[in-house]
Amino acid sequence: MIKSHAKINLSLTVLGKINSNFHRIETIVSFISLYDEIYIKNINKKKHKILFYGKFSKGIPSSNTVSKIMKFMDKQNLLKGKKYSIKIKKNIPQKAGLGGGSMNAASIIRFFLLKRDKLISKNKIFELSEKVGSDVKFGLKLNNTIQLGNQSILRFKKKIGLYVVIVKPNFGCSTKSIYKKVRIFSKPNLNNASIKYINLDKIKVLKNDLENIAKNEYPKLENLINFMKNLKHNEFVRMTGSGSAAIAYFKTKNASLNATKVIKKKYKNYWCIISKTI
């Protein structure tokens, strides 16, 4: 079984547009103990067999990140003509900003290419990941990651060490729709030296530029975030990615457990889970 961990954006700054479809962003990405479960085995068939099941599997289209990455690898003969059964138990909700689909694709790349075939260059693997989605590259390694404004990637092994209480409302946010509404661009906050001094105090003063857009679109999300900011002992509260999941960060497990009880009492129909940065 392969663990496909959810990613969280500790910060996200929109700096400008690359083209009509993509924006230039600066972000700090971490990974949490919540994960999808991926099972892979070789089959004697003419086509790959891809199956999603579990709580958050409903509505995944036939053309998805996993089918796309398998198609790209087939085109380049990276699988040597072999076909596979891939079953994925979806424990990560869709349209939450947790990168479930992108991390599934990254996990597939790690399984087939990074661990099994050292003849494939890192640049080739990076290019392959970009064909599927801009977030996939983050999951090629499960280290904390900074993406700078020039889109270069810095990995750091220093642990964030926080408990997280994730709340996803009973609606999702469309990444494309949220980014379309970005009208103001920010200045960079990070540089190559940032990797040396990233800590809780630094992260707390950063923000997610997409959060206000999402809150304007969904007043219920704004109400949720304001409620979570009043939870006892939280270090900060921030939306991840383009939403709709909001995350409260805590230093202790006990504080996160108490917060979860309060949230579940107030928001009975929202998905809420405790996890931890890894």
Domains of the chain: 2-147 (3.30.230.10), 163-276 (3.30.70.890)
Structural tokens at position 235: 């270090």
In three-state secondary structure terms, 45 is coil
Residues in a beta bridge with 27: 12, 147
Residues 6+ apart with CB under 8 A from 124: none
**Residue 18, pLDDT score:** 87
Residues tagged active-site: 7, 135
Mean residue pLDDT of the chain comes to 95
Place of tokens 């889970």: 273
For residues 12-21, average pLDDT: 90
Q: In this predicted structure, what is the pLDDT of residue 120?
A: 75
**Phi, psi (rounded to 5 degrees) for 43:** -130, 155
Cα–Cα distance, 2 to 224 (Å, whole number): 33
Quick: pLDDT tens for 234-275: 999 999 999 999 999 999 999 999 999 999 999 999 999 999
pLDDT at residue 121, as a whole number: 79
202-222 per-position pLDDT tens digit: 999 999 999 999 999 999 999
Per-residue pLDDT reduced to its tens digit, 38-54: 999 999 999 999 999 99
Which amino acid, 102?
A: S
Dump pLDDT digits (tens) for 117-170.
556 778 888 889 999 999 999 999 999 999 999 999 999 988 899 999 999 999
pTM for the structure as a whole: 0.95
Q: Which residues contact 92 (CB under 8 A, 6 or more apart)?
A: 4, 6, 34, 35, 36, 56, 98, 99, 100, 103
